[in-house]
Amino acid sequence: MLSPLLEVESLTKHFAVNTGSLLHRRIGWVKAVDGIDFAIAEGETLGVIGESGCGKTTTSKLILLQERPSAGRIRFEGQDIAEFVGPALMRYRREVQVVFQDPYSSLSPRMRVGEIIAEPLQIHTSQTRAEQSTRVSEVLELVGLRPDVANLFPHEFSGGQRQRIAIARALVTDTRLIVLDEPVSALDVSIRAQIMNQLEELQQQLGVSYLFIGHDLATVAHISHRIAVMYLGQIVELADSMELCHAPQHPYTKALFTAALPAHPDDKHERLQLVGEVPSALAPPSGCRFHSRCPHAMPRCAEEAPVRKEVAPGHTVACHLY
Amino acid sequence: MPPLLLQVSGLQTHYVSFGGKRVVKAVDGISFTLEAGETLGIVGESGCGKTTTCLSIVGLLPAGARIAGGSIEFEGRDLTRLGARAMRHVRGAQIAMILQDPMASLNPLFSIYWQVSEPAYYHRSLRGGRLRTRVGELLRAVRIPSPAQRMREFPHQMSGGMRQRIVGAIALSGGPKLIIADEPTTNLDVTIQAQYLDLLKELQQETGVAVIFVTHNLGIVARMCEKLAVMYAGRIVEAGTVRELFNNAQHPYTRALLGSMPKLGSKEKLSAIPGQPPDLANPPGGCAFHPRCPAALPRCASDQPGETILSPSWRARCWLAERQARERDAVAIA
């Protein structure tokens, strides 16, 4: 196995909930992320899927140092990122970048494309203007745009082209890891495939790692090497993406697969209908968080939280059934 | 053969701005039919005219848009000729619409009861106890737990999935024969989306209402619809039964759309469609798809392809399909 680039160890983030009154009494905690572990190898894509409120985005914010973890740690090349200061912190920020979901709000309308892409270079390098603009042309060509678009403004581009600009900006600093937070869900179907193919090509060319967050199973499975399935702040299953597609183990993963839309009208699959909706993260169910909606729930599930264990090489599941 | 519920023929809807100097042909001569109880999916990319088609049918076009030609016959009556007053009796009572964002389509200041009862109050003249019973039935039909208590609550007290089910109850409230659902599940989570689609299918079987699904997600069409119309740049480029199109699509755009869909459990490279959707204010000549088409012929750039009939239910607008159909016919005659 390749050495991990990023390791996450029992990572936890709890947000305090206060009363809105003057007294600001604490009335509870939202356990957005509750003890998750995973690793991303050099040149690998780890997909994270789950429904809204499962902690996908909080995880990405913790990795991007936009939030401080309540417990647990994140290691980048073996070093705890919470301890990074000065040049080490700058290096981390340079090598870990992000692409957001909506390319209409993630690019400043008042900056030219060239300025948007060169901004990380101004912050992180001492390159001259000429060097910067050479580098900007280079990454623009990498993402499939003509270098002369650097003089245009974002409003002159379509959604897919804007997302390419956002990817170029994320790549410009010799990035090692890009957090992709639903990068294709705001795009049209035909453009989605363009961007997905582009991301795969860039990875083969540059060896960059991706953390791909999404809620569409087929999209995430297509681009990822391994997939982590999250439910209410915890990882319930982590496996190789093809293995997860063909032999999902956790009842929640199975339910996600049966809920996925068919690729053909004659596709038949067994229905595993989940009852109800995701419970509130403010008061998650005891024991296994999924037991309130699980078709296989046993009395034990309500009392004892299952630990993630290996059911096949590289395939871990948190469920009392295994 | 069951009678036609809806017959749209040659519909043209244009957006006119700058005092008529700029005309955007959002819908440019489309025709389709719908029988009672049938489900039609309309797919296409943003800006292809899907939503304008729906708004033309329900008569809710924004200012600046006008129907420039064609007719929309609903149960034999041409809706394009109805006045605002007559149209109010059709909308809600005969044709209902479900919009994309359930948060924006519910009024936060009125109770669920008020909003679900409104169409039944105006269009079915129910009052008092009978109205209350009707609202209770509707909420039960869309699987809202404890309806008697829930109908006194307000939209902010509901989750996203529940709100979208409430919107479904409002659509059914007037007892319509046709529901137009414009991307009804884009804001919902996967498992909630599956629940909602199953619910719509059950309701359709119970009430026999016809549904037009407007979506860009071919998976929804594969699960829900019997017929499919693929739109590109304001025209229907291919229409047929869902099986005909999924098994053997004739138009390169339909094929490309199907090929750009990631299949679960396969790492096959996606066949992306190069280029961008066209600008409707300035569409390309000939077939609008020719700049992006992998199989474009020289004549595609100059001549607009007509409709080629491939089976009683199946039509495509493509020179390639036309040529193949002609060759097949020649072989059949010889």
Residue B307 has pLDDT above 80, yes or no: yes
For residue A161, list chain B residues with Cβ-Cβ distance below 8 A.
276
* Burial classification of residue A267, based on how many CB atoms lie within 10 Å of its CB (0-12 exposed, 13-18 middle, 19 or more buried): middle
Q: How many CA atoms lie within 13 A of A318 on its CB side?
A: 24
Chain A CB contacts of B264 under 8 Å are: 217-218, 221, 245, 257, 260, 263
Q: Which residues of B touch A221 (CB under 8 A)?
A: 262, 264-265
Cα distances (Å, whole numbers) of residue B263 to A60, A142, A244: 26, 27, 14
- Please check the confidence at residue A163 and state whether its pLDDT lies above 70: yes
d(CA B276, CA B278): 6
Query: For residue B2, what pLDDT is reported?
Result: 60
Indicate whether B76 belongs to any domain.
yes
Residue type present at position A227: I
pLDDT band at A217 (very low <50, low <70, confident <90, very high): confident
8 Å CB contact of A265 and B217: no
Percent of chain A scoring above 70 in pLDDT: 98
Q: Are A196 and A223 in contact (CB under 8 A)?
A: yes
Q: Give the pLDDT of residue B1.
A: 54
* Host domain of residue B227: 4-103+178-333
- B27-56, pLDDT tens digit by residue? 999 999 999 999 999 998 888 889 899 999
Q: What is the ipTM of this complex?
A: 0.79
A261 within 8 A of B220, measured Cβ to Cβ? yes
Instruction: Assess whether pLDDT exceeds 90 at residue A94.
Output: yes
Considering only residues 153 to 192 of chain B, which have any Cβ-Cβ distance to chain A shorter than 8 Å? Answer: 159-162, 189-192
pTM of the model: 0.85
Residue B155: inside a domain:
no
Return the residue of B nearest to A269 by Cα.
B223
Q: What's the number of domains chain B is made of?
A: 1
Q: Do A188 and B191 touch (CB under 8 A)?
A: no
Nearest CA of chain B to the CA of A69: how many Å?
26
The secondary structure of residue A66, as a DSSP letter, is S
CA nearest A200 in B: which residue? B269
Distance, in Å, from the CA atom of A221 to the CA atom of A227, rounded to the nearest integer, reads 7
B198 and A CB contact within 8 Å? yes
Q: Does A264 touch chain B (CB under 8 A)?
A: yes
pLDDT band at A295 (very low <50, low <70, confident <90, very high): confident
Q: Which residue has the tokens 């390749």?
A: A2
pLDDT value, residue A16 = 87
Decide if B169 is inside a domain.
no
Q: What is the mean pLDDT of chain A?
A: 90
- Mean pLDDT, residues B131-154 taken together: 90
**DSSP conformational letter for B275:** S
Residues A226-232 have a mean pLDDT of: 94
Model confidence over A263-292: pLDDT tens digits? 888 876 666 677 777 787 778 888 899 998
What are the φ and ψ backbone dihedral angles of A4, each rounded to 5 degrees?
A: -70, 140
A178-212 pLDDT tens trace: 999 999 888 888 788 899 999 999 999 999 999 99
The pLDDT value given to residue A271: 67
8 Å CB contact of A216 and B246: no
B219 vs A contacts (CB less than 8 Å): 218, 260-263
Burial class (CB in 10 A: 0-12, 13-18, 19+), A19: exposed
CATH class, domain A4-317, is: alpha beta
Q: Write down the pLDDT at residue A25.
A: 79
Give the Cα separation of B7 and B163 in Å (integer): 32
Q: Is B37 exposed, middle or buried (0-12, 13-18, 19+ CB in 10 A)?
A: middle
Q: How far apart are the first and last CA of chain A?
A: 25
Give residue A91's pLDDT. Answer: 94
Q: What is the pLDDT of residue B38?
A: 93
Q: How far apart are CA B181 and CA B7, in angstroms?
A: 18
CA distance A5 to A123: 24
Q: Of B201, B251, B267, which to mutate for an interface test with A (greatest number of A Cβ within 10 Å)?
A: B267
Contact predicate A100/A166, CB 8 Å: yes
CA-based nearest distance B266→chain A, Å: 7
Q: What torsion do the CA atoms of B187, B188, B194, B195 make, to the nearest 10 degrees?
A: -130
Q: How far apart are CA B42 and CA A136, in angstroms?
A: 41
Closest CA to A138 of A89, A171, A101, A184: A171
Q: Is pLDDT of B331 > 90?
A: no
Partners of residue A188 in chain B, C-beta under 8 Å = 45-46, 216, 277
What DSSP assignment string belongs to B52-121? HHHHHHHT-PPTTEEEEEEEEEETTEEGGG--HHHHHHHBTTTEEEE-S-HHHHS-TTS-HHHHHHHHHH
Mutation target among B188, B189, B201 for the A interface, most CBs of A within 10 A = B189
Helix (H) or strand (E) holding B25: strand B22-35
The residue whose two tokens read 């871990």 is A316
Nearest CA in chain A to B43: A189
Residue A15 to residue B27: CA distance in whole angstroms:
49
Tens of pLDDT, residues A99-157: 998 888 899 999 999 999 999 999 999 999 999 999 999 999 999 999 989 999 999 88
Q: What is the CATH number of the domain that holds B274?
A: 3.40.50.300
Q: Whose structure tokens read 């991303």? A: A40
Phi/psi of residue B303, nearest 5 degrees:
-105, 135
Q: Over pLDDT 70: what percentage of chain B?
A: 99
Instruction: Determine the pLDDT at residue A50.
Output: 87
Question: Can you give the pLDDT at residue A270?
Answer: 63
Residue A272: what pLDDT?
66
What is the C-alpha to C-alpha distance for residues A56 and A54, in angstroms, rounded to an integer?
6
Who wins on pLDDT, B313 or B1? B313
d(CA B22, CA B27): 15
Residue A227 CA to its chain's centroid (Å): 10
